[in-house]
């Protein structure tokens, strides 16, 4: 329990969501992105998508924002893992407590 709490405190900046990489085609005639032989699409563009309190959002990330956001997304994932672990421990503890009471009551 103390280990979980310490790890939670050490998480640092975090953000829910996932980052996707996209390549686009533009509307400009004769652009390299529409080359019939070897089209080179524009990009990559990075998008962060997440759902929070039932509401979905998508944001474009500037190239310099991608790495910091990857770290925040990883921290958020870690947070969820730690919280799940904590809750699982608490449920198990509660169950063990009841077992003990039941045995004590039965005597």
Q: Is 3 exposed, middle or buried (0-12, 13-18, 19+ CB in 10 A)?
A: exposed
Q: Measure Cα distances from 47 to 27, 38, 63, 86 in Å.
A: 21, 25, 10, 31
Residue entry with tokens 């169950």:
95
Segment interacting with Zn ion (CB under 5 A) among 7-15, 32-40, 58-66, 84-92: 32-40
Least distance from Zn ion to the Cβ atom of residue 43, Å: 10
Q: Is 41 in the site for Zn ion (CB under 5 A)?
A: no
Segment interacting with Zn ion (CB under 5 A) among 33-41, 70-78, 83-91, 94-102: 33-41
Segment interacting with Zn ion (CB under 5 A) among 9-17, 18-26, 59-67, 94-102: 18-26
Q: Is 31 in the site for Zn ion (CB under 5 A)?
A: yes
Distance CA 26, CA 32 (A): 9
């Amino acid at each position: 329990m103390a280990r979980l709490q310490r790890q939670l405190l050490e998480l640092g900046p975090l953000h829910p969501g996932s980052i996707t990489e996209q390549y686009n085609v533009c509307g400009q005639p004769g652009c390299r992105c529409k080359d019939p032989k070897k089209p080179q699409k524009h990009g990559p563009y990075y998008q962060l998508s997440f759902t929070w309190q039932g509401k979905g959002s998508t944001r474009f990330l500037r190239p310099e924002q991608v790495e910091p956001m990857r770290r925040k997304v990883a921290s958020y994932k870690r947070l969820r893992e730690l919280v799940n672990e904590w809750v699982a421990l608490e449920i198990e503890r509660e169950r063990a407590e009841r077992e003990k009471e039941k045995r004590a009551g039965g005597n």
